[in-house]
Amino acid sequence: MAHQRLNIGEAVGEAVRFWSHSWRHAAGALGVAALALIVYSVSKSPVMGVAYGVYVVATLMAQGALFRVAFADRLGAPPTPRSPIMAGLQWTPMEGRLATTLILLVVLFAIVIAVGVILLAAITVGFASRGGMADYSSPEAIVQAMGPGGSAAMTFVIFIAAFLLAWMSIRLSLSLPATAAEGKVRLISTWDLTKGNAFRIFVAYLVVSAPVLLVTVIATLVAEGRPDPAASRIWLNAAGSAVAVVFYLPITVGLVSHIYRRLAPNPGAAA
């Protein structure tokens, strides 16, 4: 069966249009997530840990509310928020399935990273011990003991590992919309949906991420020009990250939801 070809411009346009009419349905959850991210960025332990936990939960709630808008034709039209302050602040089976999918993704990537670390360690020990007992007292000593060939091998392995992680992220990027639309946890079964479109999906992500990257760069440049660059950088980055949550999260949900609709041959209905 021939796979659908994704239109990048159409996907990005649909993502932006989705943000314009969907964010109100998740305004409360997005606001909590943004506030928690600011607290996380400027605080120290244990407040930092609590703030990050609140951020994760609020983000899941926001995603659930946004996916209900994206797949309203299958899940039932989402009710109009009575109060934007509380919109999206709910935990239903949808949020539970999304959380389960994310946990499985984390476990899968952790396994891949662990294999990469073991391989990297084997290469390091192999090259460093060629001349007998190696000095492992510091990273600099290990690099020196490995020699040019070992350093090149490490760089190659790290590059391949980063490429594989990015490629896996793209190939599994439809796990959350599939889970939301089909009413059951979807992970490996979504792998084939992105076949032949991985590069186009990557470019679409890059385009919608450009404003966030621009905000980050501007915040860094502004911070460097202030009397206390370190403190200014923390606050400016925190504010920029919070704004990015409000804009970027709905846009990415709109993007992956559109891509799922375009590429799923016979998307299932919610259970």
List all residues 6 or more positions away from 202 whose beta carbon is below 8 Å from its beta carbon: 166, 170
Per-residue pLDDT tens digits for 30-49? 999 988 888 887 777 788 88
Selected residue with higher pLDDT from 75 and 259: 259
Cite the beta strand spans of the chain per DSSP E.
none
Q: Write down the pLDDT at residue 270.
A: 36
Rounded to an integer, what distance in angstroms lies between the CA atom of residue 33 and that of residue 240?
13
Q: Which of 5-9, 90-94, 125-129, 174-178 has the lowest mean pLDDT?
A: 125-129
3-state helix, strand, coil in the chain (%, to 5): 75, 0, 25
Q: Which amino acid is at 11?
A: A
Q: Which amino acid is at 156?
A: F
Q: Could you tell me the pLDDT band of residue 210, with boundaries at 50, 70 and 90?
A: confident
Q: What is the mean pLDDT of residues 242-247?
A: 80
For residue 72, the number of C-alpha atoms closer than 13 Å in the C-beta half-sphere is 13
Q: What is the CA radius of gyration of the chain?
A: 22
Per-residue pLDDT tens digits for 245-265? 888 899 999 999 999 999 986
Q: Write down the pLDDT at residue 82.
A: 56
Q: Could you tell me the pLDDT band of residue 213, with boundaries at 50, 70 and 90?
A: confident
Per-residue pLDDT tens digits for 162-186? 888 889 999 999 999 999 999 899 9
List all residues 6 or more positions away from 36 whose beta carbon is below 8 Å from its beta carbon: 51, 52, 54, 55, 58
Rounded to an integer, what distance in angstroms lies between the CA atom of residue 38 and that of residue 239?
6
Rounded to an integer, what distance in angstroms lies between the CA atom of residue 181 and that of residue 135?
55
For the entire predicted model, the pTM comes to: 0.81
Residue 148 tokens, joined: 């040019």
- Give buried/exposed letters for 95-108 (b at 16+ CB in 10 A, else e): bebbbebbebbeee
Q: Which amino acid is at 91?
A: W
